[in-house]
Amino acid sequence: MYSFKNDYSEGAHPRILNALIESNLEQDEGYGEDRYSRQAIELLKARIGRNDIDIHLLSGGTQTNFTAISAFLRPHEAAIAANTGHILGHETGAVEATGHKIISIEVSDGKLNPSLIKEVLEAHPDEHMVKPKLVYISNTTEIGSIYQKRELEQISEFCKENNLILFMDGARLGSALCSVENDLELSDLATLVDAFYIGGTKNGALLGEALVICRDSLKEDFRYHMKQKGALLAKGRLLGIQFLELFRDNLYFDLARHANTMAGLLSEAINEAGYGFLSHSPSNQIFPILPNSLIAELQDDYSFSIWKKIDSDHSAIRLVTSWATQEEAVSAFIALLQKLAGRS
C-alpha cells in the first residue's frame, strides 16, 4: 500500500537526520537561544533580504496559526478566511478557542480577493459584532491553488488601506514558490504581508515552521505568547538545525520542486485518461474527479483521501506528493489507472 494521502508520511531528508545526529551530544542553550537557531534565523533573514524582521521557530502549522493569530488580535477582533481555510475546518477550533471568531467567505478557488474582504467589512460596521481585523490566506491553498504576485499585491494594498493584518499560512509555501505558474519570490512576501511562515514539516523536515513577522506592531512580546501557548520548545535547537540545513543551499526548494514534479506527472496522466479535476492545482496537491468504482479499485493498492462527493457515481479524491515520493510509485499508479480506465 503506497500512500498519496499527505506530504508528511515520511520522516525527514537524510541530511537533516545526519545534522541532528552529529550535533546530538553537544550542549547548548534552550528555548531557541542556541547557536543553531540563531544561525538559521540570520540565514533566513539573508534569504528573505530583510534584517528588520523577527523570525520565530515553532513546531507545527496549527500551533503557528493559533499562536500568531491570537497574539496579533485584541479580544474583540476576528479573522477572515476562505471557507476552505485550514484554520476554519482542520484545526479543531484552535483559533476560536483563544476567543477569536473566524469569519468564513465562500470561494471557488481557495483564494480571497479585495471585493470579498470588503463585503465582510461592510457586514460588520459597528461594536455590536466582532471587528474583522486579520485576513488569513494560505499559499498554497487547501485545494492546491497558488496566489499570483498581482493578486497578492491587490490584497496587500486593500489591507493597508483598511488597517487590516495580512497573515499568510505557509505550510506548503515551498510548493507554491516552486510551482511552474508562480511569479512570487520569497523576498516579495516580506513586503506584501504582515506575517507569514515557511513550512518545514511538509517539506523535508521532521517538524518545524519558521514564522516571519514583518509588521513592527506585531513583534512585541511574541516569545511570551509562544511560551503561554506551549510553542517555546525547550530543545529549540532541533528546529534551528533543520532550517539551517534546509536553507544552507537550495535543498528546501529542490525538495518542493520534486514534489511538484511528481504531482505534475500524475495530473498529466489523469488528464490524458479523460478525467477532470475539482480545481486547478499547479502544486503538489491534485484533486481528480473519478468514478467511484475506479476509486475503489485504486484503494486496493494506494492510500489517498476522498475529498468530495460529486454525484452518485463520481467523487473527487486528493492525491498529495512529497519531497520523498518515488517516481516508480507514480509510474505504477499511472499504469494501474490507465489499465482500469481502459477496461471501463
C-alpha cell at 301: 493498492
Q: What is the pLDDT of residue 319?
A: 98
The pTM (predicted TM-score) of the whole model is: 0.97
Same structural domain, 132 and 262:
no
Instruction: Based on DSSP, count helices (H) and strands (E) in the chain, helices before strands.
Output: 14, 13
Q: Is the dihedral of CA 104, 107, 109, 115 positive or negative?
A: negative
By 3-state DSSP, what share of the chain in percent is helix, strand and coil, each rounded to 5? 40, 20, 40
Nearest to 297 by CA among 243, 333, 248: 333
From CA 184, how far away is CA 263, in angstroms rounded?
Answer: 20
For residue 127, the tally of other CB atoms under 10 A from its CB is 8
Same structural domain, 71 and 172:
yes
pLDDT digits (tens, 9 = 90+) for 119-146: 999 999 999 999 999 999 999 999 999 9
Bond from prior residue into 140 cis (ω within 30 degrees of 0): yes
- Residues 6+ positions from 52 with CB-CB distance below 8 Å: none
Same structural domain, 208 and 265:
no
Same structural domain, 185 and 276:
no
How many domains does one find in the chain? 2
Q: What is the pLDDT of residue 315?
A: 98
Same structural domain, 190 and 157:
yes
Of 247, 272, 298, the one marking the end of a domain is 247
Backbone angles phi, psi at 290, to 5 degrees: -130, 155
Same structural domain, 201 and 270:
no
Partners of residue 328 on adjacent β-strands: none
Same structural domain, 46 and 191:
yes
pLDDT digits (tens, 9 = 90+) for 253-283: 999 999 999 999 999 999 999 999 999 999 9
Q: How far is CA 165 from the centre of its chain?
A: 18
Same structural domain, 172 and 290:
no
CATH of the domain at 190: 3.40.640.10
Of 214, 247, 280, the one marking the end of a domain is 247
Same structural domain, 179 and 297:
no
Same structural domain, 98 and 130:
yes
Task: Give the pairing of strands 285-286 and 314-320.
Answer: antiparallel
- Residue 306: C-alpha distances to residues 6, 251, 288, 320, 327 (Å): 12, 31, 10, 12, 23
Of 223, 247, 271, the one marking the end of a domain is 247
- The stretches in the chain having pLDDT less than 70 are 344
From CA 292, how far away is CA 317, in angstroms rounded?
Answer: 10
Q: 65-99 burial string, b = 16+ CB within 10 Å, else e?
A: bbbbbbbbbeeebbbbbbebbbbbeebeebbbeee
Q: What is the pLDDT of residue 342?
A: 82
Same structural domain, 183 and 326:
no
C-alpha cell at 249: 543551499
Torsion angle (degrees, nearest 10) of CA 192, 59, 172, 178 = 80
Same structural domain, 35 and 173:
yes
From CA 12, how far away is CA 7, in angstroms rounded?
Answer: 11
Q: What is the pLDDT of residue 89?
A: 86
The upper half-sphere exposure of residue 209, i.e. CA atoms within 13 Å in the direction of its Cβ, equals 26
Runs of H (alpha helix) within 215-250: 222-228, 237-247
CATH of the domain at 306: 3.90.1150.10
> Which residue range forms the structural domain that includes residue 207?
14-247
Task: Give the pairing of strands 77-82 and 314-320.
Answer: unpaired
